[in-house]
Structure 1
């Protein structure tokens, strides 16, 4: 009886041992499988955004949601077991063929494929802004961004949403791009994969917020937002770091008052759709309502966005009698003159002599 009982205990203990070994071995193989690639054959890049301040478990969730790891829980255990505490935030180009070890290695290097913030400089056109958006969120396509920017239904949504800023003026027949000049130069930060409309709408919202402070003065001067942004974009594109923008604005207002064409090169380049360091005489012949050498008055709409300094110069131009100005491209110095004779003399001294 005692032998039988003893034998039974031995069998039970042996069975438990076998089960524990099986569980241990099974657990090892399970964990190991979860640390391997999701799909060794899938090398298609996935842009994964790891926000600053993310916990390890949150990073694991993001990676699993993007289908580049098998298990957030196993990822978290692995990182803590390996004591990998220096994972860096940013946007990474990963793919399902990578193992957890390889992904952790990438997050430690911190070699991000896109900036964490979208910076839109002053004087940028929609075309340049689209390039910045693609750089910020590489999964976007430039042609899709430009298509949304010109989508009439979307424009009408913005007109309804921001009626004080975006008006039917942007849909005039001669307008090249309705939202040109309406995307404010600033630093933006979007979470995850933000859609194109949301990003653009946020930039228009920022323009709306910044223009609000100028509304009383615009009303006083009987100037529409569209004309305001059009003139300020020209001032923005013509100004250099060393120039008094209020004087630049005064030249354009004086020419409008004298019924003279504005004759500003940036409008010609905008009509051409090109970025050139120098405008040639043949360029001035381009047939476009934006060509201010061939057409008097303001162009149909803005030629770029504009910053606060140019906006304020547009509202408060200096009182001068200047009708001309030119910039020395080497020094950045700008020279103003009242007559064409003075202008040509300055051109000979500061431009022709430098060539």
Structure 2
């Protein structure tokens, strides 16, 4: 039997070409046109790709959030284009009607969208670490190592065992699982860039070192709720320092005890720590929190007043007194007003 090795009939050739064109068009349609699930909605949603997530896990997360109508399409094209091993850790913004080409592209290029993380004034290093850990899942051990890095601290000219007090409160753009050392460097740089004008010069005029002024600012930050009272509280502490009086600052005791989830008790004032200003005269060894700019300003620009005492009213403001008798009377008056007397 003779086998025909002549030209392929035109009908078959056209059919094969049509099939190839149809197949290419179909694949292009699947890849370049959006095919979201019914539950995605009309707002941008975010996909987290964690270290250790394999391609199946990523596909499942995309399917569950409604970014794709099926896992198989994402898996097929990722593997076909050899992108399945190129997926990068991050937080990815998936817009409504995003195609597989767009989704695979941003993940493999690492076009991660940062979080806006706000660090409030008065947070301690521990609170800041928790803020970042819960928000962007940074390496907690790496963060603690960075804030106690002797080389970094020395490079900033800080005479302290850690960067407590030198991490500027602000809102930061932080990437998912970002290197904590980069975050710490950025916060420390922002602290020095946002220092009030002539801060160190003004501190020296008051008889304070740079570190002491930052420490004083941290006490002001923890005591003051009203901006108008920050310079007055600063004056009280400076007046007491000049007279050799203990500062009797409650927040220093709370800091010494590692933070409290209950009210400070009278017995706590005997807690032995160099940070306890009820037991030890002078400023504590270092800041007890990370102060904002207004507290830093108040530390070196105290109000021209002679007050030596203050007590909280319970509404965010304080009563300031010149003498101990006036202070005791103010305490009793506030207790009566609050129904405690």
TM-score past 0.5 threshold: yes
Q: 2:160 aligns with which of 167, 170, 182?
A: 170
Q: 1:217 aligns with which of 202, 208, 212?
A: 202
Provide structure 2 residue ranges, at least 5 long, that are not aligned to the other structure: 51-56, 69-92, 97-112
Alignment partners' CA distance in 1, 2:240 and 2:12: 101
**Secondary structure, counterpart of 1:188 in structure 2:** strand
Cα offsets for 1:195-241 (capped at 9, x unmatched): 10010011000111122622332344453221111000001101122
Alignment partners' CA distance in 2, 1:217 and 1:192: 40
Aligned counterpart, 1:107:
94
Cα offsets for 1:276-309 (capped at 9, x unmatched): 4521011111111000000000000000011121
Cα offsets for 1:43-70 (capped at 9, x unmatched): xxxxxxxxxxxxxxxxxxxxxxxxxxxx
Cα offsets for 1:134-170 (capped at 9, x unmatched): 23312x24344223322xxx2323422x33xxx2x21
Alignment partners' CA distance in 2, 1:212 and 1:91: 40
Offset, 1:91: 6.1
Aligned counterpart, 1:271:
256
2:100 equivalent to 1:145: no
Check 1:85–1:346 CA distance in 2 against 1; reply closer, same or farther (3 A cut). closer
Alignment partners' CA distance in 1, 2:180 and 2:297: 30
TM-score (norm 2): 0.73
Equivalent residues of 1:117, 1:188 under 8 A apart: yes
Alignment partners' CA distance in 2, 1:25 and 1:240: 68
Check 1:252–1:277 CA distance in 2 against 1; reply closer, same or farther (3 A cut). farther
Aligned counterpart, 1:317:
302
Aligned counterpart, 1:198:
182
**Secondary structure, counterpart of 1:197 in structure 2:** helix
Check 1:97–1:265 CA distance in 2 against 1; reply closer, same or farther (3 A cut). same
Aligned counterpart, 2:34:
79
CA RMSD for the aligned pairs? Answer: 3.4
Q: How does 1:255-270 map to 2 (within 5 A)?
A: 255-270=240-255
Aligned counterpart, 2:119:
120
**Secondary structure, counterpart of 1:79 in structure 2:** coil
Aligned counterpart, 1:88:
44
Offset, 1:191: 4.7
**Secondary structure, counterpart of 1:217 in structure 2:** helix
Check 1:122–1:25 CA distance in 2 against 1; reply closer, same or farther (3 A cut). same
Moved more, 247-256 or 275-284: 275-284
Alignment partners' CA distance in 2, 1:242 and 1:181: 19
Check 1:336–1:27 CA distance in 2 against 1; reply closer, same or farther (3 A cut). same
TM-score (norm 1): 0.70
Q: 1:343 aligns with which of 307, 312, 327?
A: 327
Equivalent residues of 2:124, 2:290 under 8 A apart: yes
2:293 equivalent to 1:308: yes
Alignment partners' CA distance in 1, 2:223 and 2:178: 34
**Secondary structure, counterpart of 1:351 in structure 2:** helix
Alignment partners' CA distance in 2, 1:321 and 1:221: 15
Provide structure 1 residue ranges, at least 5 long, that are not aligned to the other structure: 1-6, 36-73, 172-177
